[in-house]
Structure 1
Amino acid sequence: MSVNVLFAAQSDAWPKYEAPLRREIAADGIKAHLDTDIPADQVDYIVYAPNSDLQDFAPYTRAKAVLNLWAGVEAIVGNPTLHLPLARMVDPALTQGMIEWVTGHILRLHLGMDAHITAAPGTWEPVPPPLAFDTRVTILGLGELGAACATALASFGFDVAGWSRTPKEIDGITCFSGPDGLDAALERSDFCVLLLPSTAQTENTLNARTLALMPKGACVLNPGRGPLIDDDALLAALDTDQIGHATLDVFRIEPLPKDHPFWTHPKVTITPHVAAETRAAYSAKTIAENIRRGEAGEPFLHLVDRRAGY
């Protein structure tokens, strides 16, 4: 028996995903009709990007699941017509990309690389950088990506802690949780990395009050979601040297408007939402595995908790 798999995303995504999805679904022993146009009442699975034109899920009465192509689900999780299980994207390449971005930018700031890169010719100031042993990093958000980054940084010798809404345990990582735990985590953050989901509860996690808790001169890295930071509060903290540097990959409006003060601030580094990209060759494996599980009657991987919003 064949299953019908609807690919619902922007048109430029289909050429990237068609061949990998066909290959991986077939490799899992599933006969599938994969297309961008299938009658709603005949669809078994929806491979989905939240910027798709598909916003009304009510007609998809036969479908077994919506399989998201993105790690973030904030643009779909609250859809009132969504009556199906929703799985977010987790794949090794996305995780590896985030680890590389986070460790790379922390090491750049930790080692003071910019001072040597931009120094005038002939400058010879042999000031040794600090050691990772003496540098405290805190990851806000201990999901798949946050836990992986925390473990990677700990392997370099950094003193790593993490914070999550509910208690978690990760070998070698000091774990905080809850409102009081957030304050304690920030107070020991020479570097603070934001990898929280975007929800009503996480908006402006870093604001004037919480930024003031961090050690003077601390660095902020945000590869998570733009609304996690109060932009005005961050700019004020940078201007008073409370925050020494901010490396930002995500923003409330994207692309970041050309007149936004982040562009010209001397203590801000901008990357254009590239920290963790979904790559078709890898994410197709996750999609195919969930289709296999659905057909075998096994639990889907990476299901979203609708109440929590992620």
Structure 2
Amino acid sequence: MSILYRSDEARGQAWASYFADHAPDLEFRVWPDTGNLADVEYLIAWQAPADFIASLPGLKVLFSSGAGIDHVDLSAVPAHIPLVRMVEPGIIDGMVEYVSLAVLALHRDWFDYAAANAAHIWKPLEVPPASSRRIGVMGMGVLGQAVLGRLGTYGFQLRGWNRSLREMAGVESFAGADQLQPFLAGCDVLVCLLPLTPATCGILNQKTFAALPPGAALINVGRGPHLVEADLLEALDSGHLSRAILDVTDPEPLPAAHPFWAHSRVFVTPHVASMTQPETAAPILLENLRRHQRGEPLLDVVDRSRGY
């Protein structure tokens, strides 16, 4: 029995060390040192091309090395092979840190002070209480709920929108297409944490932006294709939106000539909001693998009908 890790090679060595110490009965291989592909029963991967999946006749489970699975061609993975999302503390903590930083930077006018600093201008701005700021999160899964939980400690007014209704203490919850517009109308800062599916592709568009209050800001930590770029630029240039913080783009890396780089109201980071941490992810994945070996149900299996 063997496990193949096909993702970042440097991180793969950390995974290999953990498995060597805690599961010496399992052969752990790191791409491109694949060995005999016919022996591979478990695959940990970020990208799994169709021809590569086809070369693994003994594959039993495909573990995504990240929280999302939009990078995997589901049609290339046989229906009998479970696809498992990565849900681990490192990913959650990283996302909470990033979104908290982004929301607080917007709330406390950090970007305006950065511009003033560069121009050598001393100009204090009014400091509104957090209780006057309304933060909305699209996507109330594990990450969305963790983000809302942390933002609540600052005293922000919180609201969340999800495909199906999810109640959470201290959060005004909305669900479904019929409640999207009312949800957006009360968001001074909109955070996108949705999974990327055919239904959510392009959801950050002109109609969405128009439903936000004037002066609202956007934080996209979902996926680049959630955003219609031309619509965002139009909303920023018209003044309807005040700023956008984008950790994800389409394509990635973002081309050097892309207008986002030069726009004074756009701040881009290179898809670093949250990353799988081997020291916290490996134990969780190993326990899930052991569950499979014992004939127990796997945790965090993707529902293919929903795409997440």
Normalised by the length of structure 1, the TM-score is: 0.91
> Which has the higher mean CA deviation after the structures are superposed, 119-128 or 66-75?
119-128
Superposition deviation, residue 71 in structure 1: 1.2
Give the superposed CA RMSD.
2.0
Change (3 A) 1:204 1:278: same
Distance in 1 (alpha carbons) for counterparts of 2:303 and 2:22: 27
The one of 126, 130, 133 equivalent to 1:132 is 130
Counterpart position of 1:244 = 242
Counterpart position of 1:92 = 89
Distance in 1 (alpha carbons) for counterparts of 2:49 and 2:17: 22
Change (3 A) 1:77 1:25: farther
Counterpart position of 1:232 = 230
Counterpart position of 1:258 = 256
Residue by residue over 1:202-228, the C-alpha shift from the partner in whole angstroms, topping out at 9 and shown as x without a partner, is 011111111100000100001110011
How does 1:189-228 map onto structure 2 within 5 Å? 189-228=187-226
Distance in 2 (alpha carbons) for counterparts of 1:145 and 1:113: 25
Is the 2:291–2:298 contact (alpha carbons within 8 Å) kept by the matching residues of 1?
yes
The one of 75, 82, 88 equivalent to 2:78 is 82
Q: Which has the higher contact order (CA 8 A, sep 6+)?
A: 1
Distance in 1 (alpha carbons) for counterparts of 2:192 and 2:269: 15
Is the 1:56–1:82 contact (alpha carbons within 8 Å) kept by the matching residues of 2?
no
Residue by residue over 1:155-189, the C-alpha shift from the partner in whole angstroms, topping out at 9 and shown as x without a partner, is 21111111111111122211111011111111111
The one of 93, 102, 109 equivalent to 1:105 is 102
Give the 3-state SS of the residue equivalent to 2:178 in structure 1.
helix
Distance in 2 (alpha carbons) for counterparts of 1:46 and 1:283: 15
Letter in 2 for 1:19: S
Superposition deviation, residue 66 in structure 1: 1.0
The one of 262, 265, 268 equivalent to 2:266 is 268
The one of 141, 147, 166 equivalent to 1:149 is 147
Counterpart position of 1:68 = 64
Is 1:35–2:29 an aligned residue pair?
A: yes
Task: Count residues with an aligned counterpart.
Answer: 303
Counterpart position of 1:22 = 20
Residue by residue over 1:72-93, the C-alpha shift from the partner in whole angstroms, topping out at 9 and shown as x without a partner, is 1112152334330010111101
Counterpart position of 1:45 = 42
Is the 2:50–2:77 contact (alpha carbons within 8 Å) kept by the matching residues of 1?
no
Superposition deviation, residue 281 in structure 1: 1.6
Distance in 1 (alpha carbons) for counterparts of 2:50 and 2:23: 23
Change (3 A) 1:234 1:189: same
Is 1:301–2:290 an aligned residue pair?
A: no
Give the 3-state SS of the residue equivalent to 1:273 in structure 2.
coil
Change (3 A) 1:23 1:182: farther
Superposition deviation, residue 124 in structure 1: 4.8
Superposition deviation, residue 56 in structure 1: 4.1
Is the 1:64–1:294 contact (alpha carbons within 8 Å) kept by the matching residues of 2?
no
Distance in 1 (alpha carbons) for counterparts of 2:19 and 2:244: 38
* Unmatched 5+ stretches in structure 1: none
Distance in 2 (alpha carbons) for counterparts of 1:231 and 1:111: 26
Give the 3-state SS of the residue equivalent to 2:136 in structure 1.
strand
Superposition deviation, residue 132 in structure 1: 1.0
Distance in 2 (alpha carbons) for counterparts of 1:38 and 1:293: 25
Is the 1:6–1:47 contact (alpha carbons within 8 Å) kept by the matching residues of 2?
yes
Distance in 1 (alpha carbons) for counterparts of 2:179 and 2:20: 46
